[in-house]
Amino acid sequence: MTASAESLFARWVEHHVRDGERLDADALCAGRPDLLPEVRALIARYLEVWDSLDGLARVSGPEAAPAALPLPQFEGFRTIERIGAGGMGEVFKLQDLKLDRIVAAKVLKGDRARAAALAGFLAEGRAMALFKDRRIVQLHEMRDRPDPPVLIMEYVDGFELGRLAPSLELTQRARIMKDVCEAVQHAHDLGVQHRDLKPANIMLDAELRPRILDFGLSSGDPARGHFRGTPRYLAPEQLDASQPIDARTDVYALGAVLYEMLAGVPPVGGVTEDEIVANVRAGAIRLPVEI
């Protein structure tokens, strides 16, 4: 897959997740019509599998995206907008009416298997509560009553690392990566592995300080969490239930993040999810000189 096709596809996905709309592929590829078949194939595959390893809500068939649902309301807060979604919940931007500050709220989806989803959601909250590192998003409050459960956390006003990295100086990228590695080490010292590190889960604020987000898959249990995460950044042991998952899994993902910061694309290629997973298992990492 070419870097140009990947960047166009990434733009399509970002717009789809953020706004719930599907960009027209022909318009998206207007400047590069030669990439249109590849981008269309990526979009079609994405719509088929986006409820699998990435854990995003399934959108099947060619019909238009569903109408936006009413924004949920939380006592003591004013809901401003929906800013994202994951396998376990949706994220909203709120105004704290008592403290007059902007926060983020992650809300457990009601259509998930309640017992398993609630246990994972509570585990994420407990993991976040351990952290006092400013490079890890801070948890303000956790509410499990009334339904649905919600995590009130620090709102990071900035951009995903993957969007800004190509425009940064190499010294800036090195400093950011150093900060991220130290923050991950802090989590490891507390017995928590993130297990879904990727550029989209690292935000940069206005001063280019990183914040690590989304501990929804975090754990310290070596026997749990296989076959979960984002395929391009998975370590091989995450795809082999006979192998333990430990801190080295995050180290692998950090290497993948650093690679993408420097080369502009993830280290593992492949158009379909099956191809990506096969390449991860085979250790088929593209040399930067090949890109």
Q: Which residues carry out catalysis?
A: 196
CA distances (Å), origin 211, targets 56, 91, 154, 207: 22, 16, 10, 11
Dihedral over Cα of 210, 216, 219, 222: its sign: negative
Structure tokens at 146: 């009334």
Q: How many CB atoms lie within 10 A of CB 116?
A: 10
First to last CA, the chain: 10
Report how far residue 248's alpha carbon sits from residue 234's, in angstroms, rounded to the nearest whole number: 11
Beta bridge partners of 203: 160, 211
